[in-house]
Structure 1
Amino acid sequence: MLQNRFGRLAATALAGGMLMGAAACGGDEPATSASPSGAASSAPAASGAKVGLAYDIGGRGDQSFNDAAAAGLDKAKTELGLAETKELEAGNGETDAAKEERLRLLAQGGFNPIIAVGFAYSGPVKKVATEFPDVKFAIVDDEAATGPNISNLVFAEHEGSFLVGAAAALKSTKNHVGFVGGVEVPLIKKFEAGFVAGAKAVKSDIKVDVKYLTQPPDFAGFADPAKGKTAAEGMFDAGADVIYHAAGGSGGGVFEAAKAANGKAIGVDSDQAKTAAEDVRDVIMTSMVKKVDVAVFDFLKGATSGAAKSGTTVYDLKASGVDYSTTGGQVDDIKTKLDEYKQKIISGEITVPKEVS
Structure 2
Amino acid sequence: MNRKVVLGIGAVVLVGAGIGAYMHSGSVEAKNEHTSVALITDAAGIDDKSFQQSAWQGLTKWAKANDVKEGKGGYTYFQAKTSADFETNINQAVSNGYKNIYGIGFPKTPSINAAAKKYPKNNFMIIDDVAKTRKNVVSVTFHSEQSSYLAGVAAAETTKTNKLGFVGGMKSAVVDTFEAGFIAGAKSVNPDIQVDVQYVGDFADAGKAKTIAASMYQNGTDIIYQAAGGAGTGVFTEAKDLNEKQTKADKVWVIGVDIDQSADGEYKATDGASNFTLTSATKGVGTVVTDVTKMADENKFPGGKHLVYGLDDKGVAVTRGNMSDKAWSAVEAAKKQILSGDVKVPVK
TM-score range with shorter-chain normalisation?
Answer: 0.7 to 0.9
After superposition, residues 1-80 of structure 1 pair within 5 angstroms as: 30-37=1-8, 48-80=34-66
After superposition, residues 218-297 of structure 1 pair within 5 angstroms as: 219=202, 222-259=203-240, 260=242, 262-274=251-263, 276=264, 278-279=266-267, 282-297=275-290
For residues 345 and 58 of structure 1, the distance between their equivalents in structure 2, rounded to whole angstroms, comes to: 33
Please say if residues 178 and 240 of structure 1, whose CA atoms lie closer than 8 Å, have aligned partners that are also in contact.
yes
Structure 1 vs Structure 2: percent identity of aligned residues? 34
CA 1:47–1:119: 2 relative to 1, 3 Å: farther
Per-residue Cα deviation, 1:244-279 (whole angstroms, up to 9, x for no partner): 0011122222122223052011011110113x3754
Superposed displacement of residue 145, structure 1: 3.4
Between 175-184 and 100-109, the greater mean CA deviation after superposition: 100-109
Please say if residues 52 and 104 of structure 2, whose CA atoms lie closer than 8 Å, have aligned partners that are also in contact.
yes
Query: Could you say what the CA RMSD is over the residues aligned between the two structures, in angstroms?
Result: 1.9
CA 1:225–1:315: 2 relative to 1, 3 Å: same
Amino acid across the alignment from 2:54: A
SS in structure 1 of the partner of residue 42 of structure 2: strand
Please say if residues 211 and 231 of structure 1, whose CA atoms lie closer than 8 Å, have aligned partners that are also in contact.
yes
Relative to the length of structure 1, the TM-score reads 0.82
Query: Which residue is equivalent to 2:175?
Result: 188
SS in structure 2 of the partner of residue 255 of structure 1: helix
Please say if residues 180 and 212 of structure 1, whose CA atoms lie closer than 8 Å, have aligned partners that are also in contact.
yes
State the aligned residue count: 309
SS in structure 2 of the partner of residue 244 of structure 1: strand
Query: Which residue is equivalent to 1:330?
Result: 323
1:140 aligns to 2:127 (yes or no): yes
Please say if residues 266 and 284 of structure 1, whose CA atoms lie closer than 8 Å, have aligned partners that are also in contact.
yes
After superposition, residues 84-163 of structure 1 pair within 5 angstroms as: 84-92=74-82, 94-95=83-84, 98-163=85-150
Of the three residues 315, 318, 321, the one matched with 1:321 is 315
For residues 193 and 38 of structure 1, the distance between their equivalents in structure 2, rounded to whole angstroms, comes to: 24
Superposed displacement of residue 177, structure 1: 0.7
Superposed displacement of residue 340, structure 1: 1.3
For residues 77 and 331 of structure 1, the distance between their equivalents in structure 2, rounded to whole angstroms, comes to: 39
SS in structure 2 of the partner of residue 177 of structure 1: strand
For residues 226 and 325 of structure 2, the distance between their equivalents in structure 1, rounded to whole angstroms, comes to: 21
For residues 277 and 58 of structure 1, the distance between their equivalents in structure 2, rounded to whole angstroms, comes to: 20
Superposed displacement of residue 333, structure 1: 4.0
